[in-house]
Copies of this chain bind each other. A is one copy, B any other.
Amino acid sequence: MPKLSLSTTGPLAALVLLIVLGAFLNDNFLSAGNITNVLARSAFIGMIAVGMTFVITSGGLDLSVGSMAAFIAGMMIMAMNAMLPTLGIGIPLVLAGMAVALLVGLLAGLGNGLLITRAGIEPFIVTLGTMGIFRSLVTWIADGGTLSLDFEARQFYRPVYYGGIFGIAWPIIVFAVVAVAGEIAMRHTRFGRYCEAIGSNDKVARYSAVKVERMQLWTYVALGLLVGLATILYVPRLGSASGSTGLLWELEAIAAVIIGGTALKGGYGRVWGTVVGVLILSLIDNILNLADLVSPYLNGAIQGVIIVLAVVLQRGKSSAEGR
């Protein structure tokens, strides 16, 4: 299967090329500090993109994840500020905040999923709608400004982003766990298998006793939970949420999924490819900041060119045939 192996190595090759380019452009690129930075920052989009892989694989789409992250962050911060007098600063407060984030994420995902599977509306429309709704709500709750976590609480919570064990930051560890769990779920569990089957041909899946709607619902719920998890790691970083939190994360997450080799039409998902896609996107930003370009106005153009090139590299000639 030479075809498979080309598309398998494709995104990896693009990643390696970027790393070589980065190392060539700047000596600090491969420093532990920079690597930690890049990986830790990738973690939010990364976890979301892993969830998005399942949604897309089963033939869905979710445009609301960025706004959902902002909304969850807002709710989490409000909840923690509200519980502070009762719980005091400490692990219970942080755990309570985390529980709120996961709960809100679950409910948001459930909302999307129910509208899509029960009411039978196109995922694009449902999540375009909820995207506007979540973002508006955050802006409204924050009164147009920023919701900030209480300073002391934040100091306590901060290590969840900045700390770690064995010198590895928490976001990186959590991201790695999510990625591995996602890969296993996709390859080695019924859930992943059913997602692929549904995306490939939902009628066949239904004929084969797969509970199509329930599985699709689960993909949105899982994605909501992962957005919640990402938010748990995001909030301690800056301790705030506003209407501009998570802006365009949806586009980045979807792009990562597709760069990674998952088909937008569904039927074929590759979680590790998504991880590579996320890293490619993060590295592009990092390299643009580290290198001295003609003009920062052109960042977007260079980003665009690299994204397309990364995928050209991956698809190679094979796709002339078309799927």
B297 touches A143 (CB 8 A): yes
B303 touches A132 (CB 8 A): yes
A130 touches B319 (CB 8 A): no
B264 touches A304 (CB 8 A): no
Q: How many copies of this chain sit in the oligomeric assembly?
A: 2
Cβ proximity bits A298-310 to B, threshold 8 Å, 1 near / 0 not:
1111111101100
Complex CA distance for A136 and B132, rounded to whole angstroms: 25
Choose, from A47-55, A82-90, A120-128, A157-165, the stretch at the interface: A120-128
B259 touches A308 (CB 8 A): no
A307's partner among B120, B125, B265, B321 (CB-CB below 8 A) is: B125
Interface positions, chain A 184-239, Cβ under 8 Å from B, are: 202, 212
The closest CB in chain B to the CB of A294 belongs to B140
A281 → chain B, closest Cβ, in Å?
Answer: 11
Is A119 at the interface (CB under 8 A from chain B)?
Answer: yes
Cβ proximity bits A272-313 to B, threshold 8 Å, 1 near / 0 not:
000000000000000000000001011111111101100110
Residues of B within 8 A of A258 (CB): 122, 124-125
Interface positions, chain A 97-143, Cβ under 8 Å from B, are: 115, 118-122, 124-126, 128-133, 135-137, 139-140, 143
Complex CA distance for A308 and B126, rounded to whole angstroms: 6
Is A320 at the interface (CB under 8 A from chain B)?
Answer: yes
B297 touches A136 (CB 8 A): yes
Known A-B contacts A115-B308, A125-B311, A315-B120; the reply to A300 vs B132 at CB < 8 A is yes
Residues of B within 8 A of A202 (CB): 322
Complex CA distance for A298 and B144, rounded to whole angstroms: 10
Is A251 at the interface (CB under 8 A from chain B)?
Answer: yes
Known A-B contacts A124-B254, A124-B258; the reply to A136 vs B304 at CB < 8 A is yes
The closest CB in chain B to the CB of A301 belongs to B136
A101 → chain B, closest Cβ, in Å?
Answer: 21
The closest CB in chain B to the CB of A123 belongs to B264
The closest CB in chain B to the CB of A302 belongs to B136
Is A6 at the interface (CB under 8 A from chain B)?
Answer: no
Residues of B within 8 A of A304 (CB): 128-133, 136
A132 → chain B, closest Cβ, in Å?
Answer: 3
The closest CB in chain B to the CB of A303 belongs to B132
B299 touches A122 (CB 8 A): no
Residues of B within 8 A of A143 (CB): 297
B303 touches A122 (CB 8 A): no
Residues of B within 8 A of A297 (CB): 136, 139-140, 143-144, 243
Given contacts A120-B320, A128-B255, A136-B301, 7 further A-B contacts (CB under 8 A): A124-B258, A125-B258, A128-B304, A130-B308, A133-B300, A140-B298, A144-B297
Q: List 10 A-B contacts (CB under 8 A).
A: A115-B308, A120-B320, A128-B307, A129-B308, A131-B304, A133-B300, A136-B302, A139-B300, A212-B322, A243-B297
The 8 lowest CB-CB distance pairs between A and B, nearest first, are A132-B304, A120-B319, A136-B300, A136-B301, A129-B304, A129-B308, A140-B297, A132-B300
